[in-house]
Amino acid sequence: MQTLSLSYHGHTLIITVNRPDKLNALNKTVIAELGGVLDDVYNNPEIKSAIITGSGNKAFVAGADITEFAGLNAHGGKALAEKGQQQVFDKIENCSKPVVAAVNGFALGGGCELAMACHFRIAADNAKFGQPEVNLGLIPGYGGTQRLPQLIGKGRALELLMTGAMIDAATALQYGLVNYVVPADGLMSKALSLTEVINTKAPLAIAGCVKAVHAGFTKNVNGYETEMNIFGELFDTADAKEGASAFLEKRQPAFKGL
């Protein structure tokens, strides 16, 4: 791959956006390659979780590659946003396996949107977040106007969107945009410590958590009903039976995703 580097830590795939000379900015190649890797995350049973981060210590992803905006009209702009959403951002959000953002510096514009599409975020203490698209006469195109208010509330989201301001890691933690702030040299170990715990849980139950939580944020979908249906369905799985047996027998369960 031209723009990504991949490594494995047990059953966790670490995906690193590797364009440090461009502060890991998203271009068409990054989007296409991320989409392909995410397909593997979906389909490879050996991958139980994924972490997305950026190369170097300056940036997670410092935004979209603005050079690709030249010459776009309304149709082209919409197509660019739609393709990114379908190939990457929605795919991350709806993944049945946990995808964690390890934010190691600037997460601006499309980078902030990439982090927000992940199931949760861990930030290095030097991380910065923002949606500066208004400075270009634009708005976010990869879900920023939708995911940011879900995470930090409507008022704070509108302020950040309309001012284009950046916030630091401590403020992001206060707002609820990130789960943890850690020293930069401990970022990956913190992310891996969380995925390693999740990797021991029942995969179908993890997938059910994702689906049920998303249902609560989806119009015309009853989240409680979705939860009840998934709760009931899981009783027919081998993992649920294994979980109950392991609890009663005072041992660690051996889940198989069945």
| Catalytic-residue membership of 249 | no
> The sheet that has 99-103: what strands, in order across it?
4-9, 12-17, 49-54, 99-103, 120-124, 180-182
Q: Is residue 93 annotated as part of the catalytic site, yes or no?
A: no
Q: Which of 33, 93, 113, 233 is catalytic?
A: 113
Query: Would you say the C-alpha torsion 201, 210, 146, 27 has a positive or negative sign?
Result: positive
Unique residue bearing structure tokens 């190939």 = 87
Catalytic residue among 93, 133, 159, 242: 133
171: left (phi over 0), alpha (psi -120 to 50) or beta: alpha
Catalytic site positions = 113, 133
